[in-house]
């Protein structure tokens, strides 16, 4: 049972390059989330998708776009990477708001932007 | 929005010692999660505990929702317990989690 799978695990980009972080879950969850974690800090929400076909901004959405491709997959795109986006990115999923069920996290993607 | 505060920020223990980590939150919540972030950066679900007490081996957690706090107990600590411990609560009916700043635990052999 894979749970939440993120790819790639590591990536180095140059300023201005673009890339897409992939996330897939196999738990038939409705809601999916993208967080970033910066050194010495907890996780902050970038974007989320409460259900298939919907996406909403979180606390720190600037510089990112997302796509809820289907119920299983939720991707995060950096159109023009900046050094301030160097971080560890986590994807998570849950049954949905109000379900009183925990969120499950992937192993993270470590992204460095030079 | 809801605020989450954890204490202490840092903790150093000798192997075999016990410890208590605290999580305070500023508003009523209907669930709370405790995570352990290991040295490899993985976030491990420890407990989902909206209220009451749960135990899993040497770890246990208690949430007193009416008083807006949760405690994580680690007994007979081991070096593998080292890492950062986070608590997190949902901010609203969207389900997105608000994380505390974490407690960094170092267990020395």
- Torsion region of A17: left, alpha or beta (phi above 0 gives left; psi -120 to 50 gives alpha): beta
pLDDT band of A12, cuts 50, 70, 90: very high
Backbone angles phi, psi at B34, to 5 degrees: -110, 135
Q: What is the mean pLDDT of residues A6-30?
A: 96
Confidence bin at A4 (pLDDT 50/70/90): very high
* pLDDT of the residue at B7: 97
Interface of A with B in 29-88 (CB under 8 A): 31, 33, 35, 40-45, 48, 50, 56, 58, 88
* Alpha-carbon dihedral A51, A52, A53, A57, rounded to 10 degrees: 50
Residue A36, pLDDT score: 96
**What is the arithmetic mean of pLDDT over A5-18?**
96
Read off the pLDDT of each residue in A21-36 and give the average, rounded to a whole number.
95
- The pLDDT of B82-101, averaged and rounded, is 87
Beta-carbon separation of A107 and B42 below 8 A: yes
Cross-chain CB nearest to B45 (options A33, A58, A104): A104
Question: What pLDDT score does A101 carry?
Answer: 80
Instruction: Assess B90–A contact: CB distance below 8 Å, yes or no.
Output: yes
Q: Which of B50, B86, B101 sits opposite A100 (nearest CB)?
A: B50
Partners of A47 in the β-ladder: A34, A57
Q: Which residue has the tokens 């957690």?
A: B61
Q: What percent of chain B has pLDDT over 90?
A: 80
> A5 pLDDT exceeds 80?
yes
pLDDT tens digit sequence for B47-59: 999 899 999 999 9
Q: Which of B3-12, B22-31, B35-44, B84-93 has the lowest mean pLDDT?
A: B84-93
Q: How far is CA A15 from CA A61, A86, B11, B89, in A?
A: 18, 10, 38, 34
């Amino acid at each position: 049972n894979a749970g939440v799978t993120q790819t790639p695990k590591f990536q180095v980009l140059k300023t201005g390059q673009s890339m897409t972080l992939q996330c897939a879950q196999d738990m038939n969850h409705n809601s999916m989330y993208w967080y970033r974690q910066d050194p010495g800090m907890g996780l902050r929400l970038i974007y989320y998708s409460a259900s298939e076909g919907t996406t909403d901004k979180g606390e720190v959405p600037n510089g990112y776009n997302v796509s809820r491709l289907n119920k299983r997959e939720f991707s995060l795109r950096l159109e023009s990477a900046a050094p301030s986006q160097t971080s560890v990115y986590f994807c998570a999923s849950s049954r949905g708001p109000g379900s009183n069920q925990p969120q499950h996290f992937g192993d993270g993607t470590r992204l460095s932007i030079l | 929005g809801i605020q989450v505060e954890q204490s202490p920020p840092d903790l150093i223990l000798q192997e075999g010692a016990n410890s208590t980590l605290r999580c305070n939150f500023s508003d009523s919540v209907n669930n709370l999660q405790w995570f352990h972030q290991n040295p490899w950066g993985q976030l491990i679900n420890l407990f989902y505990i909206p209220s009451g007490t749960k135990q899993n081996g040497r770890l246990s957690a208690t949430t007193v929702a009416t008083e807006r706090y949760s405690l994580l107990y680690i007994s007979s600590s081991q070096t593998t317990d080292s890492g950062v411990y986070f608590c997190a609560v949902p901010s609203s009916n969207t389900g997105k989690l608000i994380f505390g700043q974490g407690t960094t635990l170092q267990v020395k052999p």
